[in-house]
Structure 1
């Protein structure tokens, strides 16, 4: 057998099986060899294992049971958890923190200890655990914040300085991608967590510190999600939801849950996306029209993803009504990105899911000029969506041109999520399109 698999910088465990192989130092050939020893009649071709890991091919039952025996997993577990859910993939993501100041600090420390080292590019919090987390947040009563007596006194000046840095961090992520910014966000979150643990501050400052931790955790989670590190994103987001709850800020908590819903949608967990989006919408409390609009929009997406068209249209109508009420002077800083351009871009996404590319095109036309040149990451999302629409309308060459435009922008603002979006649209292009030229350019992104 080979020695432990060493990961290259930035490499991600793309599938639970890739994590299992790395833990045991197995190459693809090693994997099929150990299975063949138990099955007997299995062809020992490494390509089989590669397809399990990269193409979503599901091994047959005998192969799974042979691998389970090698890994010390019982047949009962294999039968109870469909592939690849039974594979042993390291420590779970904790969600058992209390919904108060103490639980918030513990959740933050847990995320800071684990997230930066977590290279798993698949979600760990799924199914009943995900539902229980959303339900707990939806039903929990706010805990009373108290002043803290620890080390040096922290006052408004420190908090104001960190608050002032948040727009800059958000802009950096949009212009350079999550890969470059996540370490900076982790460091900022670590500083705020350290202050929460070791300083003295009033009840009012405690509230602002926990809100800061929630917003930084939200950004760090999205940066990890953007980089393809799904487990790390969930770690940050769980901690951020706890911090928002400790601050008594249900709107921030709802905003984080809607990001978790987007992640579920991206990885194909549509029921999980609906659970989280519904919890976010129902549990946000009294919010400004813009926040109400984006939460209704995310719930419309979730209903569209599971084929519930009537509900999707209903919540699209709610989103439109709320957005039409205008912006509020009381809008928090974290929702200001959701401007008119983003509203129409979001509607287009839902219309695509509903199978209506013509309506999607109308809204994309309204969103066309919404993106500043520095918002490279977001503009790539717009381009791939526009390409999707054009291909569905029979304009494959135009779609290919739009994808071409996205390549240099991803090179400037690396985003594994955007690469995935671009490849998904590329695979929809007909064979007679200029795909070879496009594939040559895409090779610079995928290696």
Structure 2
């Protein structure tokens, strides 16, 4: 971390001592770095503030894991085919090794990136000139694997699926770099790479590896842009918006979601409903009740217009009526309107198929928290007990953390018989 920023030991202790005006002896930093001495809480807070790391991540991860490593998430690549390949290469080099549980890119950097995506015009995909020829049939064979990968990621959970997705993305990136193909084939390959990067980002996000998720998503955004697929780029921005919401960066979350809605282009009604719901989620997180209600109303109108004959993108398959109601319920829950939230959670859970185990776990936990807000803690315990085997079947760091947060809201002590079995179950989950 020091080398990356060109800091001396004195620089480090000066930053650590600045808020409290304590002595700044450079030997302190030497001990931190070489003797395994842990800085006190005030020093860590000062360093985290300088580095842009949220203090809750300092507390959650602990010293020295919260320190940024020497491989920042790079976003300065050109919005061209060459820049996209550089971005994919950089992501493949670092993402699988990046175990950071916090976001390296702050909200301002993500907002700038989204603005570039919106403003830049994609250039034609110049055909590669070297390597063996790739025809449309081979691309079709590669594309045929996507539905299976989506199902596996949803059923296995992010921690298990991310290695497989990274390997698939590596294969497609190698073809893009080393083979020859026509412009249309090149566009399809870039679109495929963008979707694989989106999935790999989601699996990393689900595993709690937020820096890795940012690497995949920023590279995927560039690939979708180069392929001329505005809807896919908007879907990736939607994911970045949700990540910002999870980290309390509500203003950037709303900027990203609004940019996705604005920049998606001419999309199907169901696609627009999905994007509007992400905007509503961000508005709810910001406490913008009227804005959230408007977005929900428009999303409902778009969903009513959706038809099975629409040419929806394949990645939209997950967004069915159950997901629509679940997202709507989450907005109401965030706005502290638990009765409305529970109506939609009940509908969502009734419609959701058993194969969507991770989503069932997510919204069962969310429903439990709504029941706590409604004063029905006994039923909340029952719902949380039901969610644990779902999380075990489809591991998810986010769902494990949600379960722990819901348990903390229950009005029972650890000695209360009503929650002793629940606590035993929750202890089996790794948060």
Please, what TM-score do these two structures have when normalized by structure 2?
A: 0.85
Counterpart pick for 1:261 among 231, 241, 246: 241
User: Retained in 1: the 8 A contact 2:289–2:335?
Assistant: yes
1:440 alignment partner in structure 2 = 424
User: Map of 1:60-71 to 2, 5 A cutoff?
Assistant: 60=42, 64=45
2:163 alignment partner in structure 1 = 183
The yes-or-no answer on 1:193 pairing with 2:173 is: yes
Instruction: Mark the CA change 1:151 to 1:382 in structure 2 (over 3 Å): closer, same or farther.
Output: same
Map Cα deviations across residues 20-75 of structure 1 (whole Å, 9 max, x no partner). Answer: xxxxxxxxxxx9xxx99969xxxxxxxxxxxx99xxxx944x6756xx5xxxx9xx
1:159 alignment partner in structure 2 = 139
CA distance in structure 1 between the aligned counterparts of 2:52 and 2:79, rounded to whole angstroms: 31
User: Retained in 1: the 8 A contact 2:280–2:292?
Assistant: yes
1:27 alignment partner in structure 2 = none
Instruction: Mark the CA change 1:78 to 1:167 in structure 2 (over 3 Å): closer, same or farther.
Output: closer
CA distance in structure 1 between the aligned counterparts of 2:120 and 2:214, rounded to whole angstroms: 20
| Gapped regions of structure 1 (runs ≥ 5) | 1-15, 17-30, 40-51
2:362 alignment partner in structure 1 = 381
Deviation (angstroms), 1:437: 2.2
The yes-or-no answer on 1:420 pairing with 2:404 is: no
The yes-or-no answer on 1:357 pairing with 2:341 is: no
User: Map of 1:298-447 to 2, 5 A cutoff?
Assistant: 298-327=278-307, 328-431=309-412, 434-446=418-430
CA distance in structure 2 between the aligned counterparts of 1:380 and 1:233, rounded to whole angstroms: 21
CA distance in structure 1 between the aligned counterparts of 2:214 and 2:333, rounded to whole angstroms: 27
User: Retained in 1: the 8 A contact 2:242–2:253?
Assistant: yes
| Gapped regions of structure 2 (runs ≥ 5) | 2-15, 26-37, 59-65
The count of aligned residue pairs is: 390
Counterpart pick for 1:112 among 65, 80, 92: 92
CA distance in structure 1 between the aligned counterparts of 2:101 and 2:54, rounded to whole angstroms: 19
Deviation (angstroms), 1:238: 0.5
Counterpart pick for 2:197 among 207, 217, 222: 217
1:136 alignment partner in structure 2 = 116
Please, what TM-score do these two structures have when normalized by structure 1?
A: 0.82
Map Cα deviations across residues 227-262 of structure 1 (whole Å, 9 max, x no partner). Answer: 000000000001100000010001000000000111
CA distance in structure 2 between the aligned counterparts of 1:347 and 1:78, rounded to whole angstroms: 37
